[in-house]
Amino acid sequence: MKFVTVSGPPSSGKTAIILQAIDALKERRFQIGVVKFDCLVTDDDKLYQKRGVPVRKGLSGALCPDHYFVSNIEACMKWGLEKDLDILISESAGLCNRCSPHIKDVTAICVIDNLSGIGTPKKIGPMLKAADIVVITKGDIVSQAEREVFASRVRQVNPKAVIMHVNGITGQGAFELSTLLAQTEEINTLKGKSLRFSMPAALCSYCLGETRIGDEYQMGNVRKIDLSSKPTAEGPKPLTLKIFLIRLALMRLASPERWKSCLPG
Amino acid sequence: MFARLTDDHLDDMGLTLDQLRSALRDYVEGMGALQQEIDTVEKLTIRGGFNKDREAEDFELDLIPGQITCIVGPTGSGKSRLLADIEWVAQGDTPTGRHILINGQVPDAKWRFSIEHKLVAQLSQNMNFVMDLSVEEFIRMHAESRFVANVDEKITSILVQANELAGESFTADTPITSLSGGQSRALMIADTAILSRSPIVLIDEIENAGIDRKKALALLIKEEKIVLMATHDPILALMGQRRLVIKNGGVAKIIETGQAERDNLEQLEILDRKLMALRHRIRQGETLETI
Ligand SMILES: Nc1nc2c(ncn2[C@@H]2O[C@H](COP(=O)(O)OP(=O)(O)OP(=O)(O)O)[C@@H](O)[C@H]2O)c(=O)[nH]1
Ligand SMILES: Nc1ncnc2c1ncn2[C@@H]1O[C@H](COP(=O)(O)OP(=O)(O)O)[C@@H](O)[C@H]1O
Ligand SMILES: [Mg+2]
Ligand SMILES: [Mg+2]
Ligand SMILES: [Zn+2]
Ligand SMILES: [Zn+2]
């Protein structure tokens, strides 16, 4: 199975370009599935379902969605393998500009739109900086000059990436994107793989700088995705304060230096 | 510089020292590539593939700078796909199976992906500006992103040309978002002709643009661009050297603009000027009881 991570700011056009690429890939007889990670709500799963694409969603609630992503992505890989997919695509909204879901040796796409303003590429951080492919959307709405300026700003932030323009509505560029997806390496487990960037302080082992993937490396506030086929309507329940504090105390014991600087007392 | 970075700094950025070093090296290389002189395109060759019924197109066509080629055909016939094949420098790897050659050769892969060697600039139908800048600031920003020399000179010449194309004049201080449709298009065409480094310009229907279409095309040709234009406007179509007639996903016919058509172009232009004059009279609040 091929596996690709797609991230990008909210409403940048991730779902739109994934759907366009899926149409092109289906013509090439690929079996494709999607897992969508978001924070509070998403209807993207319905959009994928409507096109007959197997999809699962996970909502991270109070957690940083990228932290939630890394704690669950291995299980999602297993789901994709069980479904006998040729390509599994993960879509995650980059709600926290400091984190990024990109994994070493796994093709990483960042979607960013021309309307977001020319200062945006600089603000996005690792999600854009560490991507292999940067897809720029909504080129139909701006001028040629603005497209050029925007693309050169992206280039400054990520000099190595393949930068492509794909239109989420007309599908211009989607066939070309699908060619790149079809060329990615086969990969059947994430065991032993690492994130491209460490994630900053929050509440799980990944907050503490862990980059290795796998159950044995996860501790603290880790939330597990529900991959059963029944639709999950509600998001995760908020933690009670007590559990939260106990976990915090455990984390401080596990790594005192790291927590000294940011907690009172 | 590296010595002064503490672990805390790096931690905040989520980087190791090695990652930072390699990012810096990538940056310097990338920016170097942007400043490199672009290769000149003397000839663009389209080698036919197949239409939607897998019938061979059976043609090979050379386009050279200064030429205008029009693309005609009904909606859904494959006009955009042909333009996309060119932009992607297709090598038999698109639904049409077409091949695109540059200077007679299978081109370097850099044409496909690089921002700095982008083969194609596109003037699309929908031409809005979204940045909050004056005309001058806007051109300057574009010029700087392209590492162009003599920026001030370029700004002046773009402004002069754009005003030639637009009916109503505007100045360097006008905010780009307050330009009229015609002024926006005029500025975009002048900017693309003079600043864009892409040797090929694709134009999607500029007929109702409120600009001097003939001057616009003349400007692009003067700047040695290869122009491809999807259009159904008779005047624009006859200004081209040839028309590619697209049917069912394939180039069904190539019509060279002949002398008889060229002679008729003059007639069409007289009609067009007459219509323009009438439009002007309507704008001035006159009646059209006698025309
Ligand atoms: N004009 C234009 N609109 C686009 C383009 N791509 C996407 N859109 C529109 O932008 C809006 C957001 O697109 P989505 O694909 O839902 O964005 P997303 O990144 O998946 O959003 P989230 O998953 O909610 O973060 C939709 O209304 C799309 O129709 C494009 O290329 N041009
Ligand atoms: N030769 C071809 N073989 C297969 N599909 C094609 C071919 N040419 C065009 N198509 C497909 O037909 C559809 C319509 O083409 P498009 O270029 O959008 O038409 P137009 O721009 O003329 O309205 C697109 O999905 C395109 O990929
Ligand atoms: Mg989405
Ligand atoms: Mg079209
Ligand atoms: Zn985060
Ligand atoms: Zn975490």
ipTM: 0.74
pLDDT more than 90, % of chain A? 42
Mutation to test the B interface, candidates A143, A170, A206, most B Cβ within 10 Å: A143
- Order of strands, edge to edge, in the sheet holding A55-59? A55-59, A32-38, A87-93, A2-8, A107-113, A133-137, A162-165
Residue B277 and residue B215 share a domain: no
Residue B210 and residue B227 share a domain: yes
The rounded mean pLDDT for chain B is 85
Would you say A144 and B123 are in contact if contact means Cβ atoms under 8 Å apart?
Answer: yes
Q: Is B66 in the pocket of ligand 2 (CB under 6 A)?
A: no
**Is the dihedral angle over the CA atoms B155, B158, B164, B168 positive or is it negative?**
negative
Establish if B64 belongs to a structural domain.
Answer: yes
B147 closest CA partner among A155, A164, A166, A128: A155
Residues of chain A with Cβ-Cβ distance to B146 below 8 Å are 148, 152
Establish if B116 belongs to a structural domain.
Answer: yes
Residue B155 and residue B99 share a domain: yes
Which of A189-198, A220-229, A238-247, B269-278 bottoms out in mean pLDDT, i.e. has the lowest?
A238-247
What is the domain extent for residue B269? 259-291
**Residue in A155, A162, A197 nearest the CB of B14:** A197
Q: Which two tokens stand for residue A99?
A: 């984190």
A229 closest CA partner among A83, A66, A86: A83
Establish if B29 belongs to a structural domain.
Answer: no
Task: Evaluate if residue B206 carries a pLDDT over 50.
Answer: yes
Task: Evaluate if residue A79 carries a pLDDT over 70.
Answer: yes
Task: Evaluate if residue A55 carries a pLDDT over 50.
Answer: yes
* A79/A117: higher pLDDT: A79
Task: Evaluate if residue A238 carries a pLDDT over 60.
Answer: no
Q: Give me the pLDDT at residue A56, please.
A: 93
Which of A19-33, A224-238, B98-112, B196-210 bottoms out in mean pLDDT, i.e. has the lowest?
A224-238
Establish if B32 belongs to a structural domain.
Answer: no
Q: Give me the pLDDT at residue B87, please.
A: 87
Task: Evaluate if residue A31 carries a pLDDT over 60.
Answer: yes
Residue B235 and residue B157 share a domain: yes
Q: Is A97 in the pocket of ligand 1 (CB under 6 A)?
A: no
Judged by a CB distance cut-off of 8 A, whether residue B181 touches chain A is no
Q: Which CATH number do you get for residue B149?
A: 3.40.50.300
Q: Is A14 in the pocket of ligand 1 (CB under 6 A)?
A: yes
Establish if B24 belongs to a structural domain.
Answer: no
A22 closest CA partner among A6, A42, A41, A38: A6
Residue B82 and residue B50 share a domain: yes
**Residue in B34, B94, B128 nearest the CB of A152:** B34
Distance CA A161, CA A180 (A): 13
Quote the number of domains for chain B: 2
| pLDDT tier at A236, thresholds 50, 70, 90 | very low
**Residue in A145, A162, A172 nearest the CB of B188:** A145
Establish if B39 belongs to a structural domain.
Answer: no
Q: Give me the pLDDT at residue B40, please.
A: 83
Residues of chain B with Cβ-Cβ distance to A156 below 8 Å are 27, 30-31
Residue B193 and residue B288 share a domain: no
How far apart are the CA of A200 and the centre of ligand 6, in A?
Answer: 8
In this complex, do B131 and A118 lie within 8 Å of one another by their Cβ atoms?
A: yes
Helices marked H in A169-208: 174-182
Q: How far is CA A209 from the centre of its chain?
A: 18
Residue B162 and residue B60 share a domain: yes
* A167/A42: higher pLDDT: A167
Residues of chain A with Cβ-Cβ distance to B196 below 8 Å are 144-145, 148
Residue B66 and residue B181 share a domain: yes
Q: Which atom of ligand 1 is nearest to the CA of A42?
A: 24
Question: Average pLDDT for residues A168-182, to the nearest whole number?
Answer: 92
For A241-262, write each residue's pLDDT tens digit.
555 555 555 555 555 454 444 3
Which of A103-112, A162-171, B6-15, B100-109 bottoms out in mean pLDDT, i.e. has the lowest?
B6-15
Residue B227 and residue B280 share a domain: no
Q: Give me the pLDDT at residue B72, please.
A: 93
pLDDT more than 70, % of chain A? 78
pLDDT more than 90, % of chain B? 46
Question: Average pLDDT for residues B241-256, to the nearest whole number?
Answer: 96
Residues near B52 by beta carbon (within 8 Å), at least 6 away in sequence: B78, B248, B249, B250
| Structural Rg of chain A based on CA atoms | 19
Establish if B13 belongs to a structural domain.
Answer: no
Residues of chain B with Cβ-Cβ distance to A163 below 8 Å are 113, 115
Would you say B154 and B161 are in contact if contact means Cβ atoms under 8 Å apart?
Answer: no
Residue B99 and residue B131 share a domain: yes
Which of A90-94, A133-137, B70-74 bottoms out in mean pLDDT, i.e. has the lowest?
A90-94
- Order of strands, edge to edge, in the sheet holding B68-72? B120-123, B200-204, B226-230, B68-72, B242-247, B250-256
How far apart are the CA of A111 and the centre of ligand 1, in A?
Answer: 10
pTM equals 0.79
Task: Evaluate if residue A239 carries a pLDDT over 50.
Answer: no
Residue B48 and residue B167 share a domain: yes
Establish if B61 belongs to a structural domain.
Answer: yes
Q: Give all domains of chain A, ordered by start, each with its CATH number.
A: 2-182 (3.40.50.300), 205-262 (no CATH)
For A98-134, write each residue's pLDDT tens digit.
678 888 889 999 999 999 988 889 888 888 998 999 9
Which of B103-107, B188-192, B211-215 bottoms out in mean pLDDT, i.e. has the lowest?
B211-215
Question: Average pLDDT for residues B278-285, to the nearest whole number?
Answer: 89
Residue B242 and residue B114 share a domain: yes
